[in-house]
Structure 1
């Protein structure tokens, strides 16, 4: 049984309480003390209360330490240890996440309208200890994957991350490339519009991942960066009879860590600055050879390069962003000569930019209504090496796309979307898009 607290601290506590209760009456009866005098008295009272609280805490600790010890058991009886309950973990060791989107597209030719389960993704993370964890994502595209269907099942991420300290860390495995604004942050709740923008899908082949080793840093001054060595693109996969290379040159030759050729490795680096609240400024660069020593390939020294500049600013309810990206496939002229007359030769340069503005209205609860506008221009083929006049397309032309739309977030994890898109060159692609997505 615990002993009662000594009378001295209790009397002090009673005195402090009396002061607290009687102070207003005393002040009322005195001759109108000044505001400064009142503040001084309140401050003295607060200090006295703090001293009493500290003494009471010390007394409680002393009483707990002086609890009587149970009598020792007889010599022949062994002491039985008391089992202690395990400490509750600070956070779950294993975390499951997911995102998905269902879209409806209605182009100018209504007979081409379609609905699609664009993506369904399951993520799994497991923390081995405070410094080391595994990150993975498995994605299904277009609902069904089989030899006769257009769907795909793919591992989008699979890597180990180890934190060296609070600032630096390492990743090894298959990871998303830190390029642009969308590639590493592409859940449907994270971007405006039903479909991902064209610049970050046609020029930057989002969602773009490579296998390799990455080192990264996150500093208190707002700078974060990463750099590493990874697998790269495989130009020997180029299909000159397909339109895929015209839609996105790099998406048509990415390897996705599927038995990836790795005779030539690539190098990348990225940096972002968030030193002002709401502002992000960044850039990235990637470079690597793309022939991998393939016997008989016409352009053994061909190289792929890509870089981007991006900015995002969120002053108040506004959400503003802009990006420019430029890619190149250099040294592919001899390979193009072997494709003379084909529909889709290898471009030597491709680029694009966009600017976007959204306004986020906070409604009741977690609901957010966000109208937005976006304008982008991109060209997937600015020039073609190796082709003589008459067989050289010169340029595919720069497409301009205007998008106006609305995101309605039912809560931070569920979004409904609608937009209208208008194309400057290929007006047959003008369309209405509707979509719903989630992420958790």
Structure 2
């Protein structure tokens, strides 16, 4: 049996207010926020006949409980959300069978093989004090779903194929595109519209990895109610959706790379997303009940996210022992959750965001870390005030 864990604490100073939904952008402010970001416990057990069981439980924001969130996308309404107050969730829980040493089949809850954070999600796996907001805004953060997975290990090539439950389109919005369509507001997960994932990773040499991934999945039949439906004259009143459903498929494609060569460490992702019938989803979401606690803002047909970071270990030059890494780094991000929207949808420049981050990452003995960085965020219009922040994070991984 193998036991692993990681924990993270975070402090942030923000020179801007919370309300970005104002003419000219957010007002100047001086905010300090402290957070027990997460504590994750992972257990892996191996049995005879190459059978494995793995599960991960993550405690976020200090544990469980309900808290009020002030949501400016909803005109300053307060919303009570358990997830924002802290939560204990099962991130992974699956049974895995290794077949002949080159293949493996998994069934259960596991990470969706899209984006960079599906693999490099532990705090020592990225340089900045926070995960890349370009990726965590456009798609669910460290995205996990229920389903079946096949992995093939073909020399320097790894192929991952997955069939999982799809997203719920009631959570789609202008600000977060489809990322809040990740199911979890209800006790059970709806999989009437499944999704398929294919990922290929290639290691051309030691320390270098490049790859691509694709995701295609339906969403309309995963809504809490059968409400995204067309009208027709000859519908069958004996079925829940007499005229069927309006198709609203999500298509996501990404290319990604990571390298660690001597003192240099770098990684990045470019991700594009497309939503079918986004106008119909937006029109129906606009009439959703407040009790569902979703944003109800119009969702764009397309989204784009690009980010990359690079650092250089200067510990040897400073005479530090080999157990230490001290890496000055930079990270650049650009993401647009209203990328080239349909003609009738206003292309809000507030949702085209570019972030530059620079900082210092320290690791000791491969497990204890401390990070500090400063970020500068700009928007798609010079009329919107830029936002500056300072982040400090510390924690452990073992």
Q: Give the TM-score normalised by structure 1.
A: 0.72
User: 2:328 aligns to what?
Assistant: 371
1:30-58 CA-to-partner distances (Å, cap 9, x unmatched) read xxxxxxxxxxxxxxxxxxxxxxxxxxxxx
Determine which of 103, 108, 119 is the counterpart of 1:173.
108
Q: Secondary structure at the match of 2:124?
A: helix
Measure the CA separation in 1 of the matches of 2:112 and 2:2: 22
> Contact 1:177/1:184 (CA < 8 Å) preserved in 2?
no
Measure the CA separation in 2 of the matches of 1:135 and 1:359: 34
Q: Secondary structure at the match of 1:377?
A: strand
Q: Give the TM-score normalised by structure 2.
A: 0.79
Q: What RMSD in Å do the two structures reach over aligned CA positions?
A: 2.2
Residue 292 of structure 1 and its aligned partner are, at CA, apart by 1.0
Q: Secondary structure at the match of 1:275?
A: strand
User: 2:312 aligns to what?
Assistant: 359
> Contact 1:383/1:395 (CA < 8 Å) preserved in 2?
no
Measure the CA separation in 1 of the matches of 2:284 and 2:310: 45
1:298-319 CA-to-partner distances (Å, cap 9, x unmatched) read 4621111111001223332111
1:390-437 CA-to-partner distances (Å, cap 9, x unmatched) read xx2224452111000111112201100000001122655310100102
Determine whether 1:409 maps to 2:372: no
What does 1:103-252 align with in structure 2 at a 5 Å threshold?
103-109=10-16, 111-129=30-48, 131-148=50-67, 150-220=85-155, 222-238=156-172, 245-252=173-180
Measure the CA separation in 2 of the matches of 1:333 and 1:247: 16
Measure the CA separation in 2 of the matches of 1:200 and 1:289: 21
> Contact 1:108/1:428 (CA < 8 Å) preserved in 2?
no
User: 2:397 aligns to what?
Assistant: 439
Relative distance call for 1:340 and 1:236 in structure 2 (3 A) is: closer
Relative distance call for 1:186 and 1:234 in structure 2 (3 A) is: same
Relative distance call for 1:246 and 1:333 in structure 2 (3 A) is: closer
Relative distance call for 1:97 and 1:300 in structure 2 (3 A) is: same
Measure the CA separation in 1 of the matches of 2:298 and 2:40: 34
Measure the CA separation in 2 of the matches of 1:161 and 1:343: 39
1:73-127 CA-to-partner distances (Å, cap 9, x unmatched) read xxxxxxxxxxxxxxxxxxxxx2221111000000114542101000011111111
Measure the CA separation in 2 of the matches of 1:308 and 1:122: 29
Measure the CA separation in 2 of the matches of 1:277 and 1:253: 37
1:190-213 CA-to-partner distances (Å, cap 9, x unmatched) read 111111012221123221011101
The structure that has the greater radius of gyration is 1
Determine which of 229, 237, 252 is the counterpart of 1:306.
252
Q: Point out the structure with the larger helix share.
A: 1
Determine which of 409, 416, 422 is the counterpart of 2:376.
422
1:245-298 CA-to-partner distances (Å, cap 9, x unmatched) read 344222211115951111111111000000222211100000011011752324
Q: Which runs of 5+ in 2 are unaligned?
A: 17-28, 68-81, 230-244, 288-294
Q: Point out the structure with the larger strand share.
A: 2
Measure the CA separation in 2 of the matches of 1:338 and 1:179: 28
> Contact 1:292/1:300 (CA < 8 Å) preserved in 2?
no
Measure the CA separation in 2 of the matches of 1:161 and 1:322: 29
Q: Secondary structure at the match of 2:204?
A: coil
Measure the CA separation in 1 of the matches of 2:211 and 2:98: 23
Q: Secondary structure at the match of 1:113?
A: strand
